[in-house]
Amino acid sequence: MIFICFVAVVLFTTLSALEKYEGSALLEIIPESALDQKSLQKLEHGELMVDFWKAAALPGQKSIALVRKEFKREVAKYLRKHKLKWIKLDFNVGKHIRDVHFTWLEKNKVKKIEEIYSDWKRFPYNEYNGYEEISSLLSQINAEFPNMTRLVTIGQSYEGRNLSALRIGTAKRGIWIDAGIHAREWIAVSSAVYMIGQILKDYNKGDPKVRHLMDNISWYILPMFNPDGYEFTRTTDRLWRKSRSRNNVSSINCDGVDLNRNFDVDFGVSGTSMSPCSHVYCGPHAFSEPETISLRRFLKENERNLVAYVALHTFSQLWLMPFGYGANEFPLDINELNATALEAVQALRSVHHSKYHVMTSGQLYPASGDGPDWVKTYTKIPYCYTIELRPDHYRKGGFVLPESEIIPTGEEVYAGLKAMAEHILKKLPKN
């Protein structure tokens, strides 16, 4: 499939888009008591646009928060009023975004589609590609391998973009993987795209482990769960987290919903906000968004055949299990989930020696209404995970990783997911 056209990929074309986070401050805040933690949660869920990169699950733990330039004075006033201890970290987020993306912008101003998509094997898996490029790749692969793949469109986003997954394999049992529910987490999207290409390459060259897996399990991979937000990060706000639905609030910063707080499981209780201007706004009600409605419908229709659900995120290098809505809440099969995850991170580490830790989402920080919790609670899908990809620390880039990190991140998470699939396959009854 050859597209004879040129696409102008105008990314960060205005200086204001690159400078949005100039002058911002990254703070370390440590709540020393339950009252401190409650005050910190109010700050996170308020309207000062404080973006918590890491939230303290318990008193004494560190929180890392990004404060935009225009809100620094008000946030400092709030911290003093509530006697919260904080320090400014020596990491210039605005400069980091600018340094990483100036070169990337120049390289991606214009791309020739016929050069990229005439052969799926030549697709630039080592680059951050946009919605149109990734969508065209999925269509091209499906056209070339009609007996082995199927394009599965589960619905449309708020702005009308297709939510398209690629099914690879014909086995009845399947593993669902989605990425990019949080718009700024580009490395998750690119890792999902990398996996699609690598599964096909390994299968075609006769890799025995991949062929064995493919004979027994199909892969459903949705690279962009939040395509509207993803495209918004490429043109307007690199650190945008939410979807792009309209909330009838005058400020553009108050649009969108945190889709990973919009599922109907302990909805709106912890680690979320009812304020549309918050980065963790859960929406007016559970399943208020077309993206989460679409996923719910697909998973419920296919729950008897799906054996695992995996959501790719970044950052922290963690393999997380349910539940997220409480530090002391565990599913009944937590031991099996933990054993499977430990095998996966061991395989992952063998690739580039990256250390991933296994814990529940709630032990990281409280977050009610997230996808894996809902899947584990309300479907028959037994294995449910969230994987927080590279890096392990904000100083290594946080949400803004250079393109040189795409392939190694993809390689190691691919190894981990194959190990997970092999473990699950051993546990399943024979067809």
CATH number at residue 69: 3.30.70.340
Helix (H, G, I), strand (E, B) or coil at 23: coil
Under the banding of pLDDT at 50, 70 and 90, the label for residue 11 is very low
Q: Is residue 345 part of a domain?
A: yes
Banded model confidence at residue 365, pLDDT cuts 50, 70, 90: confident
DSSP string, 40-58: HHHHHTSSS--EEEE--SS
Do 321 and 389 belong to one domain?
A: yes
Q: What is the pLDDT of residues 278-333, one digit of tens each?
A: 999 999 999 999 999 999 999 999 999 999 999 999 999 999 999 998 888 999 99
Condensed to tens digits (0 to 9), the pLDDT of residues 220-257 reads 999 999 999 999 999 899 999 999 999 887 676 789 99
Q: What angle do CA 314, 319, 325 make, to 5 degrees?
A: 85
Buried b (16+ CB within 10 A) or exposed e, 232-256: bbbeebbbbbbbbbebeeeeebbbb
CA distances from 388 to 36, 60, 136, 185, 351 (A): 27, 23, 27, 10, 17
Q: Is 77 exposed, middle or buried (0-12, 13-18, 19+ CB in 10 A)?
A: exposed
Confidence of residue 17 (pLDDT cuts 50, 70, 90): low
Give the chain's domain count. Answer: 2
Looking at the predicted structure, is the pLDDT value of residue 14 above 50?
no
pLDDT of residue 251: 72
Residue 86 domain-assigned (yes or no): yes
CB 199 within 8 A of CB 223: no
**Residue closest to 107 by CA, chosen among 410, 408, 411, 404:** 404
412 and 304 in a single domain? The answer is yes
Q: Read off the pLDDT of each residue in 328-342 and give the average, rounded to a whole number.
A: 97
Q: Which of 132, 133, 149, 153 has its CA nearest to residue 141?
A: 149
Cα–Cα distance measured from residue 143 to residue 14, given in angstroms and rounded to the nearest whole number: 37
The reply to whether 348 falls in a domain is yes
5 pLDDT tier (thresholds 50, 70, 90): very low
- Over residues 358-363, mean pLDDT: 95
Question: Has residue 9 been placed in a domain?
Answer: no
Flag whether pLDDT at 158 surpasses 60. yes
Position 126 pLDDT exceeds 70: yes
What CATH number does the domain containing 390 carry?
3.40.630.10
Give yes or no: residues 229 and 325 share one domain: yes
Token pair listed for 359? 């814990």
In which region does residue 23 sit, left (phi positive, over 0), alpha (psi from -120 to 50) or beta (all else)? left
Which residue intervals of 303-405 are DSSP H helices?
Answer: 334-352, 361-364, 371-378
The mean per-residue pLDDT over the stretch 101-129 comes to 71
Give one word for 222, left, alpha or beta, with left for phi > 0 and alpha for psi -120 to 50.
Answer: beta
The structure tokens 């304020």 sit at: 275
| 258 within domain boundaries | no
Supply the range of the domain harboring residue 347: 120-233+283-427
Higher-confidence residue of 185 and 47: namely: 185
User: 111 pairs with which residues across the strands?
Assistant: 7
Is there a domain that residue 114 lies in?
no
Whether 250 contacts 243, CB under 8 Å: no
Q: What Å distances lie between residue 307 and 162, 294, 384, CA to CA?
A: 25, 19, 9
Residue recorded with tokens 């095998």: 343
Whose CA is closest to 389, among 417, 410, 364?
Answer: 410
pLDDT tens sequence across 169-189: 999 999 999 999 999 999 999
Same domain? 125 vs 84: no
Token pair of 131, please? 């919605």
In-domain check, residue 414: yes
Q: Which amino acid is at 273?
A: S
Query: Under DSSP, is residue 431 helix (H, G, I), strand (E, B) or coil?
Result: coil
Query: How far is residue 249's CA from residue 245's CA, in Å, rounded to a whole number?
Result: 11
- Give dist(CA 246, CA 263) in Å, integer: 18
* Amino acid at site 65: A
pTM metric for this prediction: 0.93
Q: Which residues are catalytic?
A: 388
328 and 411 share one domain: yes
And the tokens for 239?
A: 């650190």
Radius of gyration of the chain from its Cα atoms, rounded to whole angstroms:
21
Residues 89 and 139 in one domain: no
Let me know: does 271 contact 278? Beta carbons within 8 Å. Answer: no
